[in-house]
Structure 1
Amino acid sequence: MANLQIRKLHRKFAPILFLPLLITALTGVFYRVARSWFGLSDELGENVLALHEGKFLGEPLVPFYVLFLGLGLLAMIVTGLMMFKQRKQKAITASGKLNFRLLHSFLAPILFLPLLISATTGIAYRLGETGLGLSEEQIEILMDIHQGNYLGSFLRVIYVLLVGFGLLGILVTGIQMTGLFRKRSVN
């Protein structure tokens, strides 16, 4: 696939995934930080997780929403890596202005593996819970990996913060490059 086609595909998916990924990143970070450090109540925690998983669409659609979002993120990761690998362009900054492309291309390779792990374990957890026949122990292992429990109680929160805010950084810099929020001149 030519670099231009990959770039077009990447740019087409980005606006579609922007809001759902933004909500998922914010609610995931909020849930883990509020639960671990501030004693978030079970009731509020369930409401936050409902947003995180797309339960607002109805319980039967949750696995499809998680699958759509996870596979969408994986597609963005793969196409982004293909663009990064094919040609690393020189970023030109105009008079010290923040260059979104440079920041985006800096963050993406760093966050590739954590986002890949988060997306695949999130998908596997939800699908395993709703119909793949995984045992409770297997499902628990997937969630432990998804939220970094293997790092210990303090570092898992730091991990979730880094991955969540990293994803937010990629989302914001990426959506800026699509041109959706550029000022348009009125003639």
Structure 2
Amino acid sequence: MNRTFRKYHRAIALIISIPLLLTVLTGMAVTVVREWSFINTGIPSRVILSIHTGEIFHLAAIYPILNGLGLIGLLVTGLSMSSLFRRRKTPKEF
């Protein structure tokens, strides 16, 4: 079972890594552009924000849901592979 979860965890991680990385980087970029006015990127913050929300790809309605489902999938498979929820074997007395 652990091998199956590793296979799913690897597949989910490969699929979700690009959208999640895009979300994180554009979220940081929006903050930098808006709050640190001395850094001039030449890109308006509304363009970066439209990439961040998926609006530029016409995915604004489902982009956050897909990111969230991907992260939940990674959490479930990652936690299931950890030893947090395994029953400990009690030593048998002789």
Judge same fold: TM > 0.5, yes or no.
yes
Paired residues for 1:124-139 under 5 Å: 124-131=29-36, 133=39, 138-139=44-45
Change (3 A) 1:183 1:151: same
Change (3 A) 1:186 1:126: farther
Secondary structure (helix, strand or coil) at the match of 2:62 reads helix
Structure showing the higher helix proportion among its residues: 1
Give the Cα separation in 2 of the matches to 1:127 and 1:182. Answer: 43
The residue aligned with 1:121 is 26
Sequence identity, in percent? 35
Are 1:141 and 2:42 an aligned pair?
Answer: no
Choose from 32, 37, 57 the match for 1:151: 57
Offset, 1:138: 2.0
- TM-score normalised by length of structure 2: 0.72
Structure 1 segments unaligned to the other structure (5+ residues): 1-92
Offset, 1:186: 4.3
Give the Cα separation in 2 of the matches to 1:145 and 1:174. Answer: 28
RMSD: 2.6
The residue aligned with 1:106 is 11
Change (3 A) 1:186 1:114: same
Number of residue pairs matched by the alignment: 89
| Code of the aligned partner of 1:104 | H
Give the Cα separation in 2 of the matches to 1:113 and 1:121. Answer: 12
- TM-score normalised by length of structure 1: 0.40
Query: Which structure is larger by alpha-carbon Rg, 1 or 2?
Result: 2
Give the Cα separation in 2 of the matches to 1:148 and 1:184. Answer: 45
